[in-house]
Chains A and B, each alone.
Chain A
Amino acid sequence: MSETEKGKPEKKDSGKIFLDEISKSPLTVTILAIFSGLLLGGLLVAVTSEDVYAAFGDSPWEAIKIGANAAWKTYVALFNGSVGNPTKIIDAFRGGDPETIRRAVNPFFESLNQSTPYIFAGLAVALGFRVGLFNIGAEGQLFIGATTTVIAAIFLKGLPAIIHVPISLLAGFVGGGLWGFIPGWLKAATGGHEVINTIMMNYIAFRLSEFLLRGPLQDPNGFTPVSAPIEDSAKLMRFFESPIRFHIGFFVALLFAYLVYLLLFKTTWGFTLRTVGANPRAAKYAGMSIVKSTVLAMFLSGGLAGLAGANEVLGVNHNLAVAFSSGYGFDAIALALLGKSHPAGVVMAAIMFGFLRNGAIQMQLTAGIPIDIISVLQATILAFIAAPAIIRTIYRLKEPDMDIDAVTLRGWGGN
């Protein structure tokens, strides 16, 4: 803490120290990054609103007011879509009709549903990051996981749910895991960079699942490339009646987050993995096997991404369609970074993304704001988190004593 030594020797009061600590905390940067991202998103809405330009002729002041109003309305719609409309919920509970209540609180549970694949996929990418691997292939692993899951869930018949569900999930884990294992093994054996290999495996996965859905997996009673519906015994349990689709997968995801935490931080294996990620050279000199860690990490990472696919198939869609995922695997990169590659952080980031995504669907319907604004928000938030110096400069925060959580990856060539 050379700064305090350099400064005047006067005694700081506790309030100032407290502010100092907040200013240095990485959490402050995260919160300010999210805040700035939302601010910029609002600005984008205002700038692209046609009413604003129409009002500019009258007076710029009026235009700014209309722009701010448009941004405000957007975020209100986002809130109502993701959490639920508060007045509607209160009215529903006063009315007491169970179906109206379910409808009113549905957005909240649907958001949790959206968060579930994000948790799995985010854990997948985060686990890779911890071992110094950049798994861009979560999307492909997710597809393969969904495909193997759907095979297990359709073609195994007559099993009780208590066995069928875990087997189907396991199928997804192994399928995705294999899809992660291949680039992991290629990296360990030949040095082929996992970023390129996982991107390639993504495309192969899309084609493969498309091929299967137009061939052997296609619903024999249908004409579109969609699989048959899965067996009832393989469906993940839902907690409420229609329209709420909230299912047990969310808690399975939380359980896996806890397991990943235990693995990474409470076991020798996890220590090895993290050491290989933080300093491969030191790990090598300590006798740890980089090859084994790389392959293991990519397998587990792929398996977690596969579970994201399995979860969608077993919990929400109950069948498999071409291009069903719409980018969970890619968003997962952003949220793993946002969660600082820590399971708890990932869960929080995933829940945030789930609420954002679900809210954005409503926002598109009611406020007419294209859903793609979510990507803009994600990108700006991510940029601020990846380059904390920008946030520190804007908000005049103090430099932290040590940048503990900076994510570093290795270049193309491996070590």
Chain B
Amino acid sequence: MATSTMDNQMEFVSPTRRRVMGLVFLGLAIILWVIFARNVEPEALTTFRMTPGGAENPLPNWEFTTLPMINILAVVSAVIGGYQLARGFGKRTNLMLGMVVAMFFFGFLTWATSGGSLNLAGLFRSALVKAVPLTLGALSGVLCERSGVVNIAIEGMMLTGAFTGAFVGSVTNIWFGLLAAIFAGALLAAIHAVLSIKYKTDQIISGTVINIFSTGITSFLSAKFLQKYQHLNDPGRFPTIKVPVLSDIPFIGPIMFQHNMFVYALYIFIIALTIGLYYTRWGLRTRAVGEHPKAADTLGINVFRTRYLSVILGGCMAGFGGAYFTLGSVGRFDEVMTAGRGFIGLAAMIFGNWNPVGSFGAGLLFGFFDALSAKLAILKVPIPSEVMLMFPYLATMIALAGVVGRGQMPAADGQPYDKE
């Protein structure tokens, strides 16, 4: 699904990287065996519940003895690691990395649940829900940065979207609230676009300005009005919709297809953006402007118009993502309620290689750790939840440092275009 240039570059895996990855795989296998397998009662059972709380038609629980499962996972990881060291998986290295990491965490969960029970379906469902705002933020970033405008103002746009959605949603109805949130995001994006495209302000500074402004104005207005008049902060929430047929699929249905419309919108946006960016004229032009604006200009593409459009669309996306907080999740606005999720969305975009599907994957990863840290508190694992919560950030830094491979950043990202 990626462009051909990306595939060409991904095929080459340097010998160092091959070896480092092999050692990483082996290291994870050793941790599985030394730390997890050694600390388990031989007869202990692990029980995973396979239906989220409150869903109909429950699946039977999945019950197995802990120790053999961990041993199997460790052996498979070790074999993959050995092959990687000896021969290498070439362009499938990242796939293997994903598999080994997934096995590692499955082993970790198996170990943590040993002697107890964990709602696996609930964990995945909660991970997906937590991934929604992150991924919407990341998609906003993808839109802007593919056209060559860095957007670190996602956080501010989401916060303003959340506020506007709650306020307008309370005064009128929830759909107008959603529209207003999108509009608010677009408005801030327009400011960002004018500052960074017309006035050629440094885009990171312009983004910082918008973030500070958004925090200030939403908290100001909230303290002045929303807290005083509670009826101005009661927009209600979008109802949960069960998708016919799909929601009846065992295990997957309750996890993926019993949500409110934000989750479905996210699916649609991911597909639409992937098609739009890689298979349409608009996408080709946008990416061309982000990679080499001068060449695009020479070919008659209007660089400025393309960038304005992309940034404003990105603002709409961030505004929509912000509305999720008030209209999709909590049902009211609280000051600074986005709590840095816009920044994590930005990280998800980079982690996901400026690519909609990749962003979703990264968003799910972050969401998973967020959900996991909440569950682990219940399981009484000897890992403090604060340490667990550090993990996504560490993972991002490791990914950025090159374990996952060099990012395919748009070449002209962050550079104002000067028409000569």
Give A residues with C-beta under 8 Å from B: 44, 48, 134, 186, 189-193, 195-197, 199-201, 203-204, 207-208, 210-211, 214-215, 330, 333-334, 337, 369-370, 372-380, 382-383, 386-387, 389-390, 407-413
Contacts and interface: CB of A to CB of B under 8 A. Distances in A.
Nearest to B350: A196
B150 A333 contact: no
Contacts of B400: 186, 190, 192-193, 196-197
Contacts of B300: none
Nearest to B225: A48
B195 A386 contact: yes
Contacts of B268: none
A370 B387 contact: no
* A193, A195, A208, A375 — most chain B CB neighbours (10 Å): A375
A81 to B, nearest CB: 17
Interface string B181-224: 00000000000000100010110111011101101110111011
A208 B213 contact: no
Given A210-B386, A376-B220, A203 B205 contact: no
B393 interface: yes
Contacts of B199: 387, 389-390
Contacts of A410: 414
B409 A44 contact: no
Contact of B413 (A189, A369, A375, A413): A413
B195 A372 contact: no
Contact of A200 (B347, B414, B415): B347
A383 B201 CA distance: 9
B398 to A, nearest CB: 9
6 contacts: A193-B350, A207-B387, A211-B386, A369-B224, A370-B219, A387-B195
Given A197-B397, A200-B396, A407-B202, A211 B387 contact: yes
A374 B213 CA distance: 9
* B217, B400, B401, B415 — most chain A CB neighbours (10 Å): B400
Given A375-B215, A386-B206, A407-B202, A204 B390 contact: yes
B195 A383 contact: yes
* B204, B205, B208, B396 — most chain A CB neighbours (10 Å): B205
Given A44-B220, A411-B415, A382 B209 contact: yes
A411 B150 contact: yes
B213 A375 contact: yes
Nearest to B394: A204
The 8 closest A-B pairs by CB, nearest first: A375-B216, A411-B414, A379-B213, A370-B223, A372-B219, A211-B386, A192-B400, A376-B216
B202 to A, nearest CB: 6
B219 A387 contact: no
Nearest to A374: B216
Given A48-B224, A333-B208, A370-B220, A380 B213 contact: yes
B384 interface: yes
A410 B414 CA distance: 8
A196 B346 contact: yes
Contact of B216 (A189, A372, A412): A372
B208 A334 contact: yes
Contacts, number: 142
* B152, B221, B390 — most chain A CB neighbours (10 Å): B390
A373 B409 CA distance: 37
Nearest to A408: B202
Given A196-B346, A196-B397, A208-B386, 14 more contacts: A44-B220, A196-B396, A196-B400, A214-B384, A372-B216, A372-B217, A375-B219, A378-B212, A379-B213, A382-B208, A383-B213, A387-B206, A389-B199, A412-B407
A409 to B, nearest CB: 5
B212 A382 contact: yes
Interface string B316-356: 00000000000000000001000010010011001000000
Given A330-B212, A372-B216, A379-B210, A407 B205 contact: yes
B79 interface: no
Nearest to B148: A411
Contacts of B217: 44, 372, 375-376
B224 A379 contact: no
Contacts of B397: 186, 192, 196-197, 200-201
A386 B194 CA distance: 12
Given A199-B347, A210-B386, A379 B402 contact: no
A190 B405 CA distance: 11
Given A389-B199, A407-B205, A186 B223 contact: no
Contacts of B216: 372-379
A19 to B, nearest CB: 25
Contacts of B121: none
A45 to B, nearest CB: 9
Interface in B116-155: 150, 152
A411 B350 contact: no
B390 to A, nearest CB: 5
B389 interface: yes
A412 B350 contact: yes
Contacts of B209: 379, 382-383, 386
Given A190-B400, A370-B223, A372-B223, A207 B212 contact: no
B386 A207 contact: yes
A203 B390 contact: yes
A372 B214 CA distance: 10
Contacts of A199: 343, 346-347
Given A48-B221, A200-B397, A195 B204 contact: yes
* B224, B343, B406 — most chain A CB neighbours (10 Å): B224
A386 B196 CA distance: 10
A103 to B, nearest CB: 28
Interface string B406-419: 11010001110000
A197 B340 CA distance: 14
Interface in B146-186: 150, 152
Contacts of A134: 204
A11 to B, nearest CB: 35
Nearest to B218: A372
B141 to A, nearest CB: 11
